[in-house]
Amino acid sequence: MAILKVARLGHPVLREKSLPVPIDEIRSPEIQRLIDDLVETMREYNGAGLAAPQVHVLKQICVIEAQGNPRYPEAPAIPLTVLINPVVTPVTDELEDGWEGCLSVPDMRGVVPRQTAVRLEAYDRDGARIDVVAKEFFARVIQHETDHLQGKVYLDRMRDFSTLTHLAEWNKYWLGIQEQDD
């Protein structure tokens, strides 16, 4: 396994659309190694998720995990989840504001409105189908990560940039004042 270099905002790869993984390639050593490297890289940098384009690979793969994460100490736990070719469909019009950060936008936070529940269809790393309705924090992270596969970052989803803040100022001025969701 390897810790991969994470593309930062401004790198064109973050603005490109990723391609689906052929189903019969999911179990290939190359894809399995990429998944392992995504997981290791996400954990190394304390991300709650990481998408393949963030490591310069334009494939529709992302990994999500949140448990005991120092970057998101109040986040509900999400077990390690690997999503391949995910399709996300809102199941509600309800939006909720929550704080987000991104390993490709280091040391920044901003408030992003997201659907509170989404249907998630995808494949897992064994090629088995996933079809679930995800809610709240899990739904937020799914929307954030799958946006990366479409060349979007969370900044694109903010209503405005009045809450965009450096992490040190976030800790100083915002933490605990506004509802923290991410």
**Looking at the annotation, which residues are catalytic?**
145
Instruction: Encode the chain in three state secondary structure.
Output: CCCCCCCCCCCHHHHCCCECCCHHHCCCHHHHHHHHHHHHHHHHCCCCEEEHHHHCCCECEEEEEECCCCCCCCCCCEEEEEEEEEEEEECCCCEEEEEEEECCEEEEEEEEEEECEEEEEEECCCCCEEEEEEEHHHHHHHHHHHHHCCCCCHHHHCCCCCCCEEHHHHHHHHCCCCCCCC
Q: How far is the CB of 127 from Zn ion (least distance, A)?
A: 25
Q: Which residue is nearest to Zn ion (CB)?
A: 102
Residue closer to Zn ion, measured from CB, 21 or 51: 51
Asked if 6 interacts with Zn ion (CB under 5 A), we say: no
- Residue 141 beta carbon to Zn ion: minimum distance, rounded to whole angstroms: 9
Q: How many residues contact Zn ion, by CB under 5 A?
A: 1
119 vs 152, beta carbon nearer Zn ion: 152
Binding mask 82-111 for Zn ion (x = CB under 5 A): --------------------x---------
The nearer residue to Zn ion, 38 or 102, going by C-beta atoms, is 102
- Residue number with CB closer to Zn ion (64 or 102): 102
Q: Which residues form the interface with Zn ion (CB under 5 A)?
A: 102
